[in-house]
C-alpha cells in the first residue's frame, strides 16, 4: 500500500515545554495511527515526560534529566516516519498546546469592590 494510509507510517508524539525558555522533552512512539499519537500527546499535557515514561509508555528523552523530571509538558508535535528507515515526512505534522484559560474581567465585580 502507498499514499497516506496509516499502514505506511509510524507516528510519534514529540512533547515540549515552554517553561525555562522552552525545551523538547521527549519523543513517544512509535504509535500505529496519528490518532493514537494524538491521544497520548493530549494525555501528557501538564504532566512531566518522566511521569509518562514511568507509566511504561515507550519514549526517548530529548532533554536533561532535570527538565524531563520537573518541567510540565505544554505543547506537542505529532510527526510521522516511514517504518524501518525512520524517514521523516517533512510535509506532515500536527501541533497542539495547552490552552491558557483567561477569565474575563467583570465590571460588576469591579463596582462591588469600589462601593
User: How much of the chain, in percent, has pLDDT values that exceed 90?
Assistant: 74
For residue range 101-110, list pLDDT tens digits in order: 665 654 444 4
What pLDDT, in 10s, does the model give residues 61-92? 999 999 999 999 999 999 999 998 889 999 99
pLDDT of residue 95: 96
Between vectors from CA 1 to CA 3 and to CA 78, what angle results, nearest 5°? 50
3-state secondary structure of 77: strand
pLDDT over 90 (residue 22): yes
Do residues 24 and 62 touch, judged by C-beta distance below 8 A?
yes
Per the listing, cell 527538565 goes with 67
Amino acid at each position: 500500500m502507498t499514499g497516506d494510509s496509516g499502514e505506511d507510517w509510524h507516528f510519534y508524539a514529540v512533547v515540549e515545554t515552554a517553561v525555562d525558555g522552552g525545551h523538547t522533552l521527549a519523543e513517544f512512539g512509535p504509535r500505529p495511527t496519528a490518532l493514537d499519537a494524538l491521544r497520548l500527546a493530549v494525555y501528557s499535557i501538564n504532566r512531566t515526560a518522566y511521569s509518562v515514561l514511568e507509566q511504561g509508555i515507550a519514549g526517548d528523552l530529548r532533554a536533561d534529566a532535570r527538565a524531563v523530571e520537573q518541567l510540565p509538558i505544554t505543547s506537542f508535535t505529532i510527526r510521522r516516519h516511514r517504518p524501518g528507515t525512520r524517514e521523516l515526512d517533512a510535509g506532515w505534522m500536527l501541533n497542539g498546546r495547552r490552552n491558557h484559560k483567561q477569565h474575563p474581567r467583570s465590571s460588576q465585580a469591579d463596582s462591588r469592590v469600589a462601593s
